[in-house]
Chain A
């Protein structure tokens, strides 16, 4: 079995190497048949990589412990679903997933764009080159098919990873990370082919949107997993590994906005290719961060020889893309100029600068320990206050821009017209701010600002829909006619909910801790929690001890919670089982953690009351819905594009 896996990977390596070399030669010498065969090699490499992946999955399902990978990441008592998810639980499997998703995406992108011959000709070798790196790692540096004498049982899986979220969170992140490869490859392919029009953007628009959506949802799932499983009461901790996913997402968000300027006005060409290269580099950097153990992180995967390889690869990619953009600068000059600082284009530009500034300050925070180590031999690191500061100083203006942008006209907006359109949202937000201040929300300035700005954005989105509906007649017709725009507004609404949820649950949360004997109770933000009793339960691979805690508000009982701890004998470790009450009245949570259960039966109970936190998760659903609306194929738009490029010889 392992031989089959190894052979399949070697074949993949040969195929993608052929796509790189053959594809380059074909594009350079304009050999059509060679180009076709390079494309076919890329498609075939998906097949061989899939065979390798199936071999690994079968080995995991059968707990074939002669595979070192299987022995290190599973055990005989591990439930089947988690055993299968061990595919992305370790380094070798993760790399294989990268290659699998990459070759899958690449095949699909090639098959869908075969007709744009000139563009695809140089895109194929770029995709091949990226795949060569991962295939090389899998074949010669970090093979998932290493074998040894089978031990009696495997090492098992870290208990906190034994969670349904782990079935979906890592693959979604990978779909996002790897998805950013496609727009990058097309951008580089277009530059190599000297085609600097917006064709590559049109060809990859949905890819970018899909990758961005996967990355966003993947992170939100990860945040939710951390919230319900890790049990410290938060969902984002500015950990390097979390930041690793956030940075490319921010860069991709900037890219999604700036390409609209290039499509509409032919501006920002240099900026767009730079952004897409930045997003791709950040996604490789993210993989590097999670896999190298170079930065202290609570995720801290094993130190591995891969670090140097990744660093080398990132350097090559950076030098290649910067060099290529530099060589093609003359072709990328914009034909039109920004006409006014008060225009739709300008707001897009501000949005881009803020997003990139946020991504880069996060990057600075992540690499800061490495830099200080290199410069004066002493590692220094930044933490929450640093990130919070920049989130407030860049994130809050971004939030406000989300409301301003859609109201400003293209090219040049007259101030008088602006005054008129801004009157309603501005009025709504001022009233909201004053009311909140009167209610005592002034305890947190960023929180109050976030709420006030949110009111502005909400009013502006509603206004856009109302105006559009008046013009189009009905809401469905309005959205159907301009899916991208109104899908975008729906996504804005999701980001708005996210901002409100984050502000509410961080700026206005209440934390209480107490040691309770059975029968005793404690108070937290209007809730009374009473520790009733203790119980134990045997699970398939763990022993669970949990407390019974009654929650009441006023005089009425609202919920019974069961915070506790589980002990995993195979893995020799414990995990916190938090218990949460979702209050439908406040959209907030009562979050309980059994910090310690002593032998005498005393319970150290930690309670967090987090207002509005459920909006964060609700935002996820609206986010996906909005993205789908924006991505849905649009017949009118396709026809328009077909007309536009009909005259252009391909």
Chain B
């Protein structure tokens, strides 16, 4: 009986993973090039100037890897709500697809992580 139920639960699980695929990749700007055209979560730190209007025509900014010294930068085009904590230097996660060198984000998918100010002071980005 127990074995049967466990098997049923497993079956549902496998059914799901086979239909819906196995998760969305979480990647940084240095490796996003390999996933052009795919739906991914882009994780990185905002660098440079933030231009445009997220509510009219879209906001543009550059992202670099959170860790490491990769020179890769990814240009992100985003529209929708901008979290309070968003600004240059913050670590963010945004969902979308890389198309012709620009990462086109899904509207409203931008999430900021806790500002580095609350981690030991030396880890400034």
Contacts and interface: CB of A to CB of B under 8 A. Distances in A.
Interface in B6-56: 6, 9, 12-13, 16, 20, 22-27, 31, 41, 43, 54-56
Given A72-B118, A379-B25, A389-B20, 13 more contacts: A155-B117, A298-B112, A298-B113, A300-B91, A300-B114, A338-B1, A349-B1, A349-B5, A372-B23, A380-B23, A382-B22, A393-B12, A573-B85
A574 interface: yes
Given A155-B117, A353-B9, A576 B2 contact: no
Nearest to B115: A573
B55 A296 contact: no
Interface in A560-587: 565, 571-576
Contacts of B82: 595-596
B16 A353 contact: no
Nearest to B6: A353
A563 B54 CA distance: 19
A328 to B, nearest CB: 20
B81 interface: yes
A349 B25 CA distance: 37
Contact of B84 (A361, A368, A576, A606): A576
Contacts of B93: 296
A303 interface: yes
Interface string A211-249: 000000000000000000000100000000000000000
Nearest to B35: A378
B84 A232 contact: no
Interface string A463-475: 0000000000000
B68 interface: no
Q: Is the interface of A mostly helix, strand, loop or mixed?
A: mixed
A622 to B, nearest CB: 30
Interface residues of A, number: 49
A353 B2 contact: yes
A302 B84 contact: no
B20 A385 contact: yes
B71 interface: no
B24 A382 contact: yes
Nearest to B112: A298
A155 B117 CA distance: 8
Nearest to B66: A296
A573 B117 CA distance: 11
A299 B26 contact: no
B20 A296 contact: no
B120 interface: yes
Nearest to B56: A515
Interface in B67-89: 81-82, 84-85
Contact of A341 (B1, B91, B114): B1
Contacts, number: 97
B84 A573 contact: yes
Interface residues of B, number: 36
A544 interface: no
Contacts of B81: 232, 593, 595, 606
B124 interface: no
A515 B55 contact: yes
A380 B16 contact: no
A303 B119 contact: yes
Given A338-B1, A595-B55, A357 B9 contact: yes
25 contacts: A72-B118, A299-B114, A346-B1, A350-B5, A353-B2, A368-B23, A372-B23, A380-B22, A380-B24, A380-B26, A382-B22, A382-B23, A386-B20, A389-B16, A389-B20, A390-B16, A393-B12, A393-B16, A515-B56, A571-B117, A573-B115, A574-B85, A595-B55, A595-B82, A596-B54
A604 interface: yes
A369 B111 contact: no
A572 B84 CA distance: 11
Contacts of B85: 573-574
A155 B118 contact: yes
Contacts of A515: 55-56
Contacts of A298: 111-113
B108 to A, nearest CB: 9
A296 B114 contact: no
A147 B122 CA distance: 17
Interface string A127-164: 00000000000000000000000000001001100000
Given A353-B6, A379-B25, A386-B20, A296 B119 contact: no
A575 B2 contact: no
Contacts of A302: 114, 118-120
A33 B111 CA distance: 58
Contacts of A625: none
Interface string A589-611: 00001011000000010100000
A357 B11 CA distance: 12
A422 interface: no
Contacts of B117: 155, 571-572
B3 to A, nearest CB: 11
The 10 closest A-B pairs by CB, nearest first: A302-B119, A380-B23, A379-B26, A300-B113, A357-B9, A300-B114, A382-B23, A574-B84, A353-B5, A380-B25
B119 A369 contact: no
Interface in A362-412: 368-369, 372, 378-383, 385-386, 389-390, 393-394
A70 to B, nearest CB: 14
B7 to A, nearest CB: 11
A349 B55 contact: no
B35 to A, nearest CB: 9
A572 B9 CA distance: 49
Contacts of A369: 23, 26
A296 B43 contact: yes
Contacts of A361: 13
A230 B76 CA distance: 24
A357 B13 CA distance: 10
Contacts of B9: 353, 357, 394
Contacts of B22: 372, 380, 382
B24 A383 contact: yes
A381 B2 contact: no
A57 interface: no
A508 interface: no
Given A515-B55, A573-B85, A575-B84, A296 B26 contact: yes
A299 B27 CA distance: 19
B114 A158 contact: yes
A313 interface: no
A441 interface: no
A527 interface: no
Contacts of A353: 2, 5-6, 9
B118 A158 contact: yes
Q: Name the residue in B2, B55, B118, B119 with the highest tally of chain A Cβ atoms < 10 Å from its Cβ.
A: B118
A301 interface: yes
